[in-house]
Amino acid sequence: MAGVILENVVKVFDKTEVIHRVNGVFEDGQFIVIVGPSGCGKSTVLRMIAGLEEVSEGTVMIGDRVVNEVEPKDREIAMVFQNYALYPHMTVFNNMAYGLKLQKLGKDEIKKRVDEAARLLQLSDFLKRKPRQLSGGQRQRVAMGRALVRKPAVFLFDEPLSNLDAKLRHQMRVELKKLHKRLGTTMIYVTHDQVEAMTLADRIVVMNDGNIEQIGTPDEIYHNPASKFVAGFIGSPP
Binding site for ligand ADP (CB under 6 A): 13-14, 18, 36, 38-44
Which CB atom, from 162 or from 171, has the smaller least distance to ligand ADP?
Answer: 162
Contact stretch for Mg ion (CB under 5 A) within 41-49, 119-127, 160-168, 199-207:
41-49
Q: Are 132 and 141 in contact (CB under 8 A)?
A: no
Handedness of CA 70, 71, 74, 79 (dihedral sign): positive
* Rounded least distance, CB 104 to ligand ADP, Å: 32
Contact 91, 138 (CB under 8 A): no
What, of ligand ADP, Mg ion, none, does residue 41 touch, CB below 5 to 8 Å by kind?
ligand ADP
Cβ at position 104, least distance to Mg ion in Å: 33
- What distances in angstroms separate CA 137 from CA 15, 73, 83, one per listed residue? 40, 27, 12
Q: Supply the minimum distance, in Å, between the C-beta of residue 43 and Mg ion.
A: 3
DSSP 235: T
State the Cα–Cα distance between residues 207 and 10, nearest whole angstrom: 14
Residues in the chain: 238
Which range in 43-51, 64-72, 78-86, 197-205 contacts Mg ion by CB under 5 A?
43-51
Nearer to ligand ADP, 93 or 189 (CB): 189
Pick what 87 binds: Mg ion, ligand ADP, none; C-beta below 5 to 8 Å, kind-dependent.
none
Q: Find the part of the chain contacting Mg ion (CB under 5 A) among 35-43, 68-76, 145-153, 224-232.
A: 35-43
Q: Determine which residue in the list 26, 36, 43, 194 makes contact with Mg ion, applying CB under 5 A.
A: 43
User: Sign of dihedral through CA atoms 82, 149, 69, 30?
Assistant: positive
State the minimum distance, in angstroms, from the CB of residue 181 to Mg ion: 26
Of all helices (H) and strands (E), which one includes residue 218? Answer: helix 218-223
C-alpha 95/C-alpha 123 separation (Å) is: 12
Residues that bind Mg ion (CB under 5 A): 43
